[in-house]
Amino acid sequence: MFVQDFMIVDRPASEVIAQLRDGAVLGRAAEEAGEELGDFRIKVGPKSWPPLLAKTVEVTLGPVRRHDDVTLLAFSWRAAGYPSLFPALDADLEVSPIGESQSEVSLQGRYEPPGGTPGKVADRLVLHRLADATIRAFLSRLALGLEAGRSQTVDDPV
């Protein structure tokens, strides 16, 4: 299943890219090793859900790629507990400048619903909306952190 969303961030693209590259705004400062960044955990879930129902996921950051004025950061997340019961996400964060003081941060990704055919049916009926809400909440939190120029802590649910 495909998911995508975007946010406008009131920060120049160069600052947004620097914050994403060091990993701090995504959960904790991750040391850069070549083109690969470290792994860490965050909580994800729709904003309307109680924090106790958010799911902790293990995030793996991948290479940073540039195409003209667009920068892409590959990442994935997998459920930290019982990963076979929850979808895994493989995605790109894309940062594009909008003028000199704003950026567009978009997420484009794919996930496979767990549970084979019954899981795919459930995803089409209901769970895809949950996935969209989770991505929206993740991007909202990320945009707030980027605009503030500060990191979000691992324990802050998305």
pLDDT computed for residue 94 by the predictor: 95
Q: Is residue 157 part of a domain?
A: no
pLDDT computed for residue 9 by the predictor: 95
pLDDT computed for residue 45 by the predictor: 72
Residue 155 has pLDDT above 60, yes or no: no
In sequence order, the β-bridge partners of residue 104 are 8, 96
Number of domains, the chain: 1
Residue 33 has pLDDT above 60, yes or no: no
| Contact predicate 3/135, CB 8 Å | yes
Q: Is residue 155 part of a domain?
A: no
Rounded Cα distance between 56 and 101, Å, is 33
Q: Is residue 156 part of a domain?
A: no
Both tokens of 31, joined, read 């040391």
Domain that holds residue 58: 2-148
DSSP state of 46: -
Apex CA 110: angle with CA 109 and CA 113, to 5°? 145
Q: Is residue 7 part of a domain?
A: yes
Q: Is residue 123 part of a domain?
A: yes
Residue 139 has pLDDT above 60, yes or no: yes
Q: Is residue 144 part of a domain?
A: yes
| pLDDT tens digits, 63-117 | 889 999 999 999 888 888 777 778 889 999 999 999 999 999 999 999 988 888 8
Q: Is residue 154 part of a domain?
A: no
Residue 27 has pLDDT above 80, yes or no: no
Q: Is residue 17 part of a domain?
A: yes
The CATH number linked to 139 is 3.30.530.20
Rounded Cα distance between 135 and 69, Å, is 24
